[in-house]
């Protein structure tokens, strides 16, 4: 994806963890890093985005790429309404 910018927490090893993702001009905060793993191709991040959405990114030598997504998260089912006493 050409229109991708990732703002990451910069630790001792450089870009360590995505904090914000900008795609198609829309800036979204990373609500949670669901999973992180390393492979020879780079570091992978399974992200949950604020406002609902999921994305898998790869960072290789400081270059970020979308591996999967963006996917909308299904809204959680509403809890059942409380029953009224008769």
Tens digit of each residue's pLDDT (9 = 90 or more) over 14-27: 557 899 999 888 89
Enter the pTM of the model.
0.74
| Edge-to-edge strand ranges of the sheet holding 42-49 | 4-11, 14-23, 26-39, 42-49, 54-60, 63-71
Q: Where are the domains of the chain?
A: 4-71
Provide the pLDDT for residue 76.
Answer: 47
| Under-70 pLDDT residues of the chain | 1-2, 13-15, 71-82, 85-86
| C-beta pairs of 51-56 under 8 Å, 24+ apart in sequence | 53/28, 55/21
């Amino acid at each position: 994806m050409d229109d991708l910018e990732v703002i990451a927490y910069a630790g001792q090893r450089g870009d360590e963890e995505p904090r914000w993702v900008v795609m198609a001009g829309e800036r979204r905060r990373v609500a949670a890093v669901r999973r992180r793993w390393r492979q020879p191709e780079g570091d992978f991040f399974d992200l949950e985005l604020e406002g609902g959405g999921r994305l898998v990114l790869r960072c290789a030598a400081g270059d970020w790429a979308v591996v999967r997504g963006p996917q909308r998260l299904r809204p959680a089912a509403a809890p059942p309404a409380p029953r009224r006493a008769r």
